Structure 1
Amino acid sequence: MREWLGQYKYRGNERYGLLLGLMLDRAYIALKEEKRSALLSQKTLIIHSSWSADLLVPVPVSDSRLRERGFNQAERLADVLSKRRKIPQLPLLIRTHHTGKQSFKSRAERIADMKHAFAENPAVTAQFADWMKRKVPLNRPVRIIIVDDIYTTGSTIRACADIVQQMGSDYGYRVEVYSLTWARS
C-alpha cells in the first residue's frame, strides 16, 4: 500500500487513481452497511434505514503542493466515489497555509500544524447553502464525508470536520461528519 500511494501521490503515476478510488468505494459500502445496521438496531423506521451520504468534501492541498503534484489526490479519490455512488462533491474547504510534509512530523507537530490549516471556501459558501436548502430535509442531519488518502493522527480530519460542522450550523443545519480514507498509517 505504501508503494502504491508513493507511486500515485509522489511520482504522478495516475493509473493508480482508479484502483485506489475503487478501494475507497468498498470502504464507503462498508460504512453504509454499518450505518444501516445501526439504524435498524435502534428500531428506526424502515423508511430511514437506508443510509447514504449527502455530500463528499475532499481535503484540500496547499497551492504549492498542488503545483508540485499537479493534482489533489483526495479530490481524485472523491471523484471516483462521487461518480460511482452519485454523491455530489463540493470543495467546501481551502488550505490556509502550507504545512509541509506531515509524514516527517511527530504526532504533536501534526496536531499543532492542522489547528488553523483550513478555512471555509468562500467561492462555494453560497452554493453550499443553496444545495442544503434544496436537497437536505430539515428532519435529519446533513451527512458529509470528508475524503482523504491517508489517516495518521486524525488531526487533518478533525480540523476539517470542525469547519464543516460550523458551516452547517451557520445555516441552521445539524451536520454529521464522517471520514473515508484509503489507508491508515
Structure 2
Amino acid sequence: MRKARIERKTKETGIAVEVNLDGTGAFSIATGVGFFDHMLEQLSKHSRIDIALSAEGDLHVDQHHTVEDVGIALGQAIAQALGDKRGIGRYAHAYLPMDETLTRVALDISGRPYLIWRVKFPTEKIGQMDTELFREFFQALAQNAGITLHIETLHGENAHHIAESCFKGLARALREAIMIDEAARGEIPSTKGQLGG
C-alpha cells in the first residue's frame, strides 16, 4: 500500500495528514475552515485517496497560513506515498462539469512543479473562505507534490460551482495519474529513468 504521514509544525500552524493512495476515498478532515473542509472531502472522495487531516492555525489572523500549509503538507504526503513513481500513469486530464460551470484540469506527475491557474471567481468569499486562497492551496500542493498542474475554468458563474469543479477535476485527474499501469508495473514512466530534476 502506498501510504504516508506528514506532520508540519510552525509558529502559525500545526498540521497532521495521512494519505493512502490505494484507498477508497475515506476521509476525516478538520481545518477550522468549513468550506475548505468540504472541498478537501471532495478531493478525497473523487480521487479515492484516503485522507485523514487535522489542522490548527492562526485563524484569528486570517485563513491564509492554514490553507497554504495544508497544501504544503498534503503535497508532501502525496509525494512521499508515490515514492519513485514506478508504474504510475503519470499524465491525466479531466473536464469537470458542474451545472453552468466547466473546468479543465491537466497534470503531469513529473517531479517538476508548476501551476497554471486560469480561474476567476465572481465573489471574494464562499461562506467564510476567501476565494483568492484557492490559488494558494493549489500552488502549494503542486509545488510539494512535484506536479505540473494546469487548471482552467472555461465558463462558470457560481463561485461555489467554480471552486468545486476545480477540486473534483483535480481529484479525477489525480486518480488516473497515480493509478498503476499493469502493463508498465515496475517501470519509471520516463526515458530518463527517473522523474524530477
TM-score range, shorter chain: 0.3 to 0.5
Would you tell me which structure has more helix in proportion to its own residues?
1
Would you tell me which structure has more strand in proportion to its own residues?
2
